[in-house]
Amino acid sequence: MCQPVVSVLALTFNQADYVEDMLKGFIKQVTDFEVEYIIHDDASTDGTQEILKEYEEKYPGKFRMIYEDSNQWSKGRKIFREILLPMARGKYIAFCEGDDYWIDRNKLQKQKDFLDQHEDCVCVAHNALIWYCATGILCAMDNYDKSRYLEARDVIDRRHPSIATASKMHRKEVLYVDPLFLSCGEVGDMPADFFAFTKGKIYYMDEIMSVYRYESSGSWSQRVNHNLKKLIDWRAVTLRFLHQYDLYTKEKYTFYVQLYMTRSVLGVVEYLLKEPIPEQKFMEYVNVVREEKNHEYDIYLDQIERIVKLMIYYRSPALEALLKGQHGTDIYLYGAGKYADIMANFLERNHIGFDGFVVNSLQDNPRELHGKKVIELSEYRKKESTLLVVAISSILWDEVLEGIERNGINNWVYPLLIEASNFKGKENEK
C-alpha cells in the first residue's frame, strides 16, 4: 500500500441517522493520491457500528475502523489527540464528524493541490451548507465574501457559524498544539484555528463542498445550547482561553479578542431572551459554576454576569454613571435592531433620557422607535455636544467603526467592551 498523502479523521457516536451520508462523501472522492480514512466509533449503541461494518465489508481496505467497547470520551480521553492523530500517516489532515458530510467529489484534491502550491499556508477551508436540524432550513454558510487568505478579524473575531470542521484540511504539524490550546473544554475547533493562525496562513475557498448539521440529535451543540448551566460553564472556559491567547500572542489581536469575548457572552443573553428567568435564579446558576470551578474562573464569570445584567436585567452601575454624567450632552443610540431595543429599555428603566436613534440609511429602517426619531449618520454628524451609544452586534463591527471614523465622530461608547469605557481606534492586527 502506498503512503497516504491525506489522512481523513472521523468521529462517530450514536449517529445512525446520519453516518451513511458521511461514508458516501468519502467513497465519492476522486484523487490522484492515496487517502486513508480512519474512523473512530465511541461505543455507539444505536446501530452506527453496524452501518460502519457494512461499509467496511463492502469496501475492503478503504477504511481503518476503531470500534470501542466502552465510551472513551466519558472517561476523559481526548480521542482526536490521543487516538486518531497518532495513527495518521498523511502529510495533510482532513476532518469529518459523523453528522456532517461532503458533497464535492473533488474536495480533497482541490485542498491538497492548494497546500502543495502554497508552502506558507497551514490550513485551507471552504464554504459549506448549514442544515439547521431544529427547523429543517438548509442554506449557505457564506462565511466570507470571496476566496482569500483570512485576516485576524476573520479568524479571531469569529462570526457564527464559523468555519465548518468538515471543510478544513491542515498540515499535520500544526495540529500538535501548545498545551494552552488543549484547555478549552470539549470543542477543539476554535483553539485549533487560533493556533494555526500563529503558524502560517489560512486560506478560504468560496466553494460549497460540505454540509454541516447544526444541533443534530445528540450533538454537543444541542446539549450545551439548551442547558443554561452548561452554557455558562462553556462560555467561562472560552473567556479564560481567549484571555490566555491574548497574552500568548503578546496582545497583538487584543481588539478582536475582546469582540469575540463579548459575543461569547451574548450566547447566554440569547438563551435568556428566549427563556427568561428571574435575576436571582440566573445568579444561582452562575454561583454553581463558580463552586464547581473552585473559583478559578471567577473573573470570567464576572464578565458573563456583567453583560447579562446589562442586557437582560438592565443593571450596569458603570454604564449608568457614565451616561448620567453626560451633562448637557444629547445621547443617541446607534442602531435600530434588537440590541438598540435592549439599550433603549436600559435607558428607560434607569431614567436616562436620550434623543433618538442613528442608522446608516433610512431606506430599510423605521422612522421612529420608542417614540424617538430615527436619523441617518450623515445628519447626526452635524450635531454638537452628543454621545453615540453603539447598539449594534459586534458581527458588524468593522462596518460600524468605518462609519464612525468616516463621519468624524469622536464621542462614542460601546457598552459591552471594557466595562463600558470608550474605545477609540482599532488594534493593530499586523
359 is in which domain, residue-wise? 317-413
- CA torsion, points 48, 94, 104, 2, in degrees to nearest 10? -90
Same domain, 204 and 235: no
| pTM for the full predicted model | 0.84
> CA–CA separation, 341 vs 336, rounded Å?
7
Say yes or no: 79 and 195 in one domain: yes
CATH number (domain holding residue 91): 3.90.550.10
Q: Where are the alpha helices (DSSP H) in 181-253?
A: 189-199, 220-225, 228-248
C-alpha cell at 25: 462523501
Of 220, 248, 275, the residue that ends a domain is 220
Tell whether 264 and 181 lie within a shared domain.
no
Question: Which one of 220, 236, 256 terminates a domain?
Answer: 220
Whether 148 and 230 have beta carbons less than 8 Å apart is answered as: no
Q: Are 256 and 216 members of one domain? A: no
Q: Give the pLDDT confidence score for residue 74 in this predicted structure.
A: 87
Give 182-188 contacts, CB < 8 A, sequence gap 24+: 182/78, 182/81, 183/237, 183/240, 183/241, 183/244, 184/237, 184/238, 184/241, 185/234, 185/237, 185/238, 186/220, 186/234, 187/220, 188/80
- Cβ contact 42:66 at 8 Å: no
Contact 257, 241 (CB under 8 A): no
Whether residue 264 contacts residue 235, with contact meaning beta carbons closer than 8 Å, is answered with: yes
Inter-CA distances, 98 with 26, 52, 190, 279, Å: 12, 11, 19, 39
C-alpha cell at 321: 454613571
C-alpha distances (whole Å) from 199 to each of 8, 56, 153, 178, 342 are 22, 37, 16, 11, 40
Distance CA 171, CA 73 (A): 25
* 141 vs 215: CA distance, rounded Å: 15
- Shared domain for 167 and 32, answered yes or no, is yes
Q: Would 419 be classed as within a structural domain? A: no
Q: Are residues 232 and 214 in the same domain?
A: no
- The pLDDT value given to residue 393: 80
Q: Are residues 212 and 236 in the same domain?
A: no
Strand partners for 64: 38
Per-residue confidence in pLDDT tens, the chain, 430 aa: 689 999 999 999 999 999 999 999 999 999 999 999 999 999 999 999 999 999 999 999 999 999 999 999 888 888 988 999 999 999 999 999 999 999 999 999 999 999 999 999 999 999 999 998 788 888 999 888 899 999 988 898 876 557 899 999 999 999 998 888 877 754 578 888 999 999 999 999 999 999 998 876 655 555 666 789 999 998 999 899 999 999 999 999 988 888 888 888 888 999 999 999 999 999 999 999 999 999 999 999 999 999 999 999 999 998 999 999 888 899 999 999 999 999 999 999 999 999 999 998 899 899 999 999 999 988 998 888 999 999 988 777 778 888 888 888 989 998 887 553 333 333 333 3
Give how many domains the chain has, as a whole number.
Answer: 3
* Same-domain check for residues 299 and 187: no
Q: Cβ distance 323 to 389 under 8 Å?
A: yes
